[in-house]
Structures are given as C-alpha cells and as structure tokens.
Amino acid sequence: MSNANAARLSHLAPVLVVDRVEPCVAFWVDRFGFTAQHQVPGDDGRIFFASVAKDGIEIMYQTRASVAADPVTTPDRVDGSSTVLYFTVPSLDDVERAAAGAPVVKARHQTPYGSSEIYVREPGGHLVGFAQF
C-alpha cells in the first residue's frame, strides 16, 4: 500500500527509559567503543538524558524521573512502555499531516537542544517522537 502523503523519515534512535543514565552510557562506551553524546545534566548534576553513537547506530537514554517530571508526559502515560521511538525528520509539517488522527501525547514544541518536536502514541501504545533540527 502506498501513501502519497507519507512523511520522509531520516533517522531512528530508540529512547530507553531507565532509572540511571550514567551506567548505561558507560556500558556502551567502555565495552563497545561508542562515543557519549548529548549529555544533559539536571539541577542535581546527574545526567538525566544522554545518547551514545557508533557506526550509524544511536541509542538514547532518559531517566524515568525526568520523563515523569514532564507536565505532558506524565507517569501514567509511560507506564508499561520503557522505549520511545525517536525519529529525525526533514519536515515536521509533513509528519503532522501523516500522523493526523493519532493520539498526540506532546504537541509540537521547541526543545533546549535545538529541535522542534511532536510525540504521538502508535496503535501498540508506544510513544513515537519526531524531531526536526
């Protein structure tokens, strides 16, 4: 089945929701030679978000506490799902058209790390984020 209105997706990185980011980053860096990227510390100095990358593979981690603290992504919206699919896209407008009718979990917004994003829930119940940089 072809959809002429389909949005173009250019990169996928899973966001794994965890209790602590630091040991997860160390696992990939120390054991598999990944490079730590995009480390974002919270007010307490502990990293609440980070990503690792190597050979075109990217894995992102975010603390359960920071997800729960987001006024839109409340704890009841992440229970049962510890993975968020995070796509980089060339056009968020195209994504919004393609995703029309899907439950919006977090409306289009600007992030402190330079992207415009929207989060929807796919039919299986998982969060799917789309980001335009």
Q: What is the pLDDT of residues 41-89, one digit of tens each?
A: 988 999 999 999 999 999 999 998 888 887 665 555 555 556 788 999 9
Does the pLDDT value for residue 118 go beyond 70?
yes
Phi-psi region of 111 (alpha: psi -120 to 50; beta: other; left: phi over 0): beta
Q: Which domain holds residue 99?
A: 11-132
Asked whether residue 2 is assigned to any structural domain, the reply reads no
Average pLDDT score over residue span 7-27: 90
Query: What is the structure's pLDDT at 84?
Result: 84
State the average pLDDT for the chain.
86
Residue 100: its H or E element: none
R_g (Cα) of the chain, nearest Å: 15
Residue 16: its H or E element: strand 11-18
Does the pLDDT value for residue 13 go beyond 80?
yes
Asked whether residue 110 is assigned to any structural domain, the reply reads yes
Both tokens of 120, joined, read 């929807």
Average pLDDT score over residue span 3-32: 88
Contact (CB, 8 A) for 85 and 128: yes
Residue closest to 66 by CA, chosen among 80, 88, 50? 50
Contact (CB, 8 A) for 127 and 70: no
Residue closest to 92 by CA, chosen among 108, 113, 110? 108
Q: What is the CATH number of the domain that holds 59?
A: 3.10.180.10
Asked whether residue 4 is assigned to any structural domain, the reply reads no
Average pLDDT score over residue span 119-130: 83
Asked whether residue 3 is assigned to any structural domain, the reply reads no
Q: Is the pTM of this model over 0.85?
A: no
Query: What is the structure's pLDDT at 121?
Result: 85
Task: Return the exposure string of 73-86: e unless at least 16 CB atoms fall within 10 Å of the residue's CB, then b.
Answer: beeebbeeeeebbb
Q: How many domains does the chain have?
A: 1
Three-class SS state of 78:
helix
